[in-house]
A and B are shown apart, each in its own frame.
Chain A
Amino acid sequence: MPDTIIPVTEPEPPVPAAPSAGTQLKEPRWRELLRKISSFQVLLGAILVSGVFVAERSIRLDPDTWWHIKVGSDILATHQFPIADRYSFTVRGAPWIAYEWLGDVVMSLAARAGVSGTQLLLVASSSLITLLIYYYAWLKCRECKAAFLATAAVVPLAMLSMTVRPQLFGYVFLLLTLICLERFRQGHRGTLWVLPPVFLLWVNTHGSFVLGFMAMGLYWACGLVDFSWGGLHTERWALRDRIRLELAALICVLMLPITPYGTRLATVPVEYAFSLPGNMAHIQEWQPADFSQWQVKLFLALVILFVLALLTLRLRCSLVETAFFIFAVYETCVHVRFAIVFAIIFAPLLAGLLTRWIDPYNRNIDKYALNAVLILGMAFAWIRYFPSRADLEHKVAANYPVEAVRYLQQHPLAGPMLNSYGFGGYLIWARVPRQGVFIDGRGDLYERTGVFADFRRIVNLAPETQQLLRGYGIQSCLLQRGTPLATFLGADPHWNRVYQDDVAGLYVRDGRSDEGGQGHSRLRTSSEGLN
């Protein structure tokens, strides 16, 4: 029995009777397939993909994208999986594993086609996530128009996390897991056996596999009892189904050690959750949701809408749906990176709500030819308007120190270099400087070794900034333009600004500066400083 909000749908109109009693007209399979591909449901899916395409046209690169690509390409080149850091000078040799290695390899393969390949990967992954959300919503309400509208409403929230990183693949696996579990709940028992291979890929791709186990656990737990309490209800699993679910979960757990690092990848989420307070406090994606962003206001509006619907429409929700919803709302408020999880969880709830007011899809009035033309037209537009390599490279240059790196390649600098956090990944990918970066997005590594705390003190100009820079032997700094540290160094006569563009500035320590490290350097002020 489906465990869903009860949609208000009208029964499908009766299929016209066969033309004569003696003969049965059976559509050829290819024709049936063609109808399916050019159905209205697929057209709606294509519209969603077009929306994602437009939003993602200008490549949205995360600072971490670059080191993921580098790690992946090194794995492909050496056929070895890293076990110690070799990309920085501050933590060189410290134990570190590529726990998203499979995602890194996929990204690296896409990046072989240059920035266009990376863009294609982004658009493809984002589109896949959107289509899976659409399908998941449809699975719950069986009404494509409601599923379409619900998906369109939540996609802006999902887009907060749609950048080129292995976590994108993690969300694909999450959706596959939820879809399998829902189909299983609806009686498609064979679907469950998709989960073990999904988890096998997942554990090697991204630490979000714990969300998959959490989802399975919730489904299982909510099916242990039978009750109906006002609008909250749950249905007990049939014994066989419960055993199937437990068996599938067990096999998924057995997949966890099947990684190049044995069981180490399985413990990464726990480590992240409990032993990285600095990252949780200071890295943007782990910050609480910022309610000044319009997407987060949209999230708030959707939650408020749901509360209103609960009151006025006396909705019935299953225990598992309610548990998912509360979890997703809480996690989104506490860590904005989970906004996509809310989008995934809420789309089916919203779709179920919308079916009350939307006319059901009627295949008898579907215009397959027109749909096909529109779908092909959209596909053509995706190809035609795919951003050019030059556009993408221009976008990268506007956000990353492309020209500064070129300068460094032409004028190599001796000695350790401090870099802005957001530049670290790009510098690793560009293999500049040779001795390695000061810091990059592998926050776990730097926090464990204390480098993260020192970095924060330096960029926040703590009183001991100068001592810290000397302590690390820093001879040059590549900094984002307009940052406090850039102002500080720009006014210090013992630092020379040797390069600056709209994105970054490069400061080099004067060779005549105090080598003993005693006392403060004296800064230039307004007439000599930067204006």
Chain B
Amino acid sequence: MATPETVTASEQAIGTGESRLRALLKKCFSFPSFLGAILVVANFGIDRSLRLDPDTWWHIKYGDMIIQTGHWPTVDTWSFTVHGMPRVAYEWGGEVLTALAYRLGGLRGMDVLLITLTSILTLLVYYFAWLRCRNSYAAFFSTFVLLPVALLCFTLRPQLLGYIFLVITLISLERFRQGEQKTLWALPPIFLLWVNTHGSFALGFMVLGLYWLSGLVDFTSGGLYAVRWRPEQRLHMEVVGLLSMAVLPLTPYGTRLAAVPLNVATSLPLNFADILEWQPLTTDFWQAKLLLVLLFGFILAQLAFRLRYRLEEIALFLIVVYASFVHFRFAILFAIVFAPLAASLFVRWAPVHNPQLDHYAVNAVLMFAALAAMVLFLPSQSRLQENVAKNYPVQAVRYIQEHPIPGRMFNDYAFGGYLVWALTPQRKVFIDGRGDIYEQAGVFADYSDIVGLKPDTFAVLQSYRINFCLVSPNSSLATLLAASSNWQEVYKDTLSAIFVRQTTRPSPRPNLNAARKDRYWQMSEA
């Protein structure tokens, strides 16, 4: 097995009496750092075209609202279907950051934010892998191989920050395991930021709990072993865990944010069934096949090399494998957790970095050149706008603004976030990516019935008093509306179409079930 890289640049520098600054510079431009820069460049190459999620837009809207008003929203004001229903901005920290990026730099600002966050995440995973195997080549290679799996989730949303906090938590725990006691004190402030940023803080507690539990016993069974915490270590962990829990209520909403992960996990069956990111991993994606290949590689490695792992590493790995297959949004967790395991395997064949052979000047030049290239090749505002227009109904929104259509709008789910950002408060949406609120109100089920063209499609549209529909032109609903005598297509482009109701005589009262009757009359009176 290759020996770990134990002679660091700083140790070298101390040995020769160099200044701290010089030692720091050597560290910054060492070969391992250069490898990190390659990862950042690779990430830039993939993310530079601003991969936006439909939800990004309403996140920006929330952030903007908070910045402008200085208040944190407590009810919905963007849709007419759930208007006034309780809804908190539980990812407000990430939303404010995204809104600031947009305010400062527009789409380019958002692109820079996305690249920065994903680069930080990539570098943290690289460092986490290095921490496990102490070999920069092995850590680099494992991170590079896993980057495509992580990329499935690299879109500009607060969850990206959540994953950064998760890796920081894992790094702190790993360093703590390796004897660096003070690292753990980073966790309470991390959790304070985390609970205000994204509901994935629950993962942080799961990880903390796993590490703590795994250190309660001492055993070795084949390739699996556990090392008991010393009493002071265990106490340290418990205090940090308690402090991390104590910061959970420190949010503008008190303890409500702490309850969000539980709500999402237990009371949104339709979201889990229908929203893409909660769907099971499908091997239609090549990244999923890559994940399988890596899993097989791990199995073969166990057979052939009889590797040894700590209990918490394996428990985390197996949990994450299960979670990744059942909900593909967790595939990024596989990349995070597997990188150190893969690195510990690759280390057998990886050379050891020798700082004495490092060419710091060359590394520095190359790294600055890479940075310059990234700045140079950062897409222009207009290029990003074109990209947005290819994926979101920009032209349709312009049409609506120039040709005001009275009455309520039904919209595709995927357009909802963009419409919230572009049209509210002047015009309210039918639905957007805030799946929790729409499911609680029953709107999500109605939406599914409409786009699924259930027999009562027209009745449901009428129960909401929909006057026009903004949908994908290739959708089955568009075909139905196009063929209807009561609906007229007034706008169409490659991405969206608008159909307006053409009723010239009062519609008879629709034949609705009881729940929809209530809603119909509530809206009539509103």
Name A's B-contacting residues (CB within 8 A): 229-232, 287-292, 296-297, 300-301, 304, 306-308, 310-315, 317, 322, 326, 329-330, 333-334, 460-463, 465-466, 482-484, 486-488, 490-492, 520-527, 529-531
Q: Which residues of B sit under 8 angstroms from A292, Cβ to Cβ?
A: 273, 279-280, 326
Contact B326 A311 (CB under 8 A): no
- Chain B 306-323 interface residues, beta-carbon cutoff 8 Å to A: 306, 309, 314, 318, 321-322
Indicate if the CB atoms of B458 and A326 lie closer than 8 Å.
no
- Least CB distance from B334 to A in Å reads 13
Inter-subunit contact B304/A525 (CB<8 Å): no
* Sample (10) of A-B pairs whose CB atoms are under 8 Å apart: A232-B303, A232-B304, A291-B280, A300-B322, A311-B223, A461-B476, A488-B476, A488-B479, A488-B480, A491-B484
Q: A230-B305, A230-B306, A231-B304 are in contact. Are A326 and B299 (CB under 8 A)?
A: yes
When A231-B302, A463-B479 are in contact, do A484 and B453 touch as well, CB less than 8 Å?
Answer: yes
CB atoms of A310 and B453 under 8 A apart? no
Interfacial chain B residues near A306, Cβ < 8 Å? 299
Give the distance to chain A from B365, nearest Cβ to Cβ, in Å.
Answer: 44
Q: Are A527 and B508 in contact (CB under 8 A)?
A: yes
Contact B483 A531 (CB under 8 A): no
Question: In angstroms, how far is the closest chain B Cβ from the Cβ of A164?
Answer: 28
B77 at the interface (CB under 8 A from A): no
Residues of A within 8 A of B75 (CB): none
Shortest CB–CB separation between residue A222 and chain B, in angstroms?
14
11 additional A-B residue pairs with CB within 8 Å, beyond A231-B303, A291-B281: A290-B280, A291-B280, A292-B326, A310-B302, A311-B223, A313-B221, A326-B300, A330-B296, A463-B482, A484-B476, A526-B462
Q: Is B511 an interface residue (CB 8 A)?
A: yes
User: If A304-B318, A308-B314, A486-B455 touch, does A525 touch B302 (CB 8 Å cutoff)?
Assistant: no
B385 to chain A minimum Cβ distance, whole angstroms, is 28
Residue from A230, A460, A462, A490 in contact with B455 in the complex, judged by beta carbons closer than 8 Å: A490
- Once the chains bind, are A461 and B222 in contact (CB under 8 Å)? no
**Which residue of A has the minimal Cβ distance to B291?**
A333
Inter-chain contacts of A312 with B (CB < 8 A): 221-224
| Inter-chain contact B302/A523, CB cutoff 8 Å | no
Cβ of A326: which chain B residues have Cβ within 8 Å of it?
A: 296, 299-300
- The reply to whether A231 and B306 contact each other, CB–CB distance below 8 Å, is yes
Quote the shortest CB–CB distance from A308 to chain B (angstroms): 7
Residues in A neighbouring B455, C-beta threshold 8 A: 482, 486-487, 490, 529-531
Measured between C-beta atoms, what is the minimum distance from A85 to chain B in Å?
A: 30
Which residues of B have CB within 8 Å of A311? 222-224, 302, 309, 314
Q: Per a CB cutoff under 8 Å, which of A230, A522, A523 touches B304?
A: A230
> Which one of A296, A310, A525 has the greatest number of beta carbons of chain B within 10 Å?
A525
**Residue interface mask B263-288, A partner, CB < 8 A = 1:** 00000000001000001111110001
* Nearest CB of chain A from residue B328's CB, rounded to whole Å: 9
Question: Bound state CA distance, A230 and B305, in angstroms?
Answer: 6
Contact, CB under 8 Å: B325 / A300:
yes
Q: Which of B289, B457, B507 has the most CB of A within 10 A?
A: B457
Contacts of A315 in B (CB 8 A): 303
B213 at the interface (CB under 8 A from A): no
* Interface check B473, CB cutoff 8 A: yes
Q: A300-B322, A333-B283 are in contact. Are A526 and B458 (CB under 8 A)?
A: yes
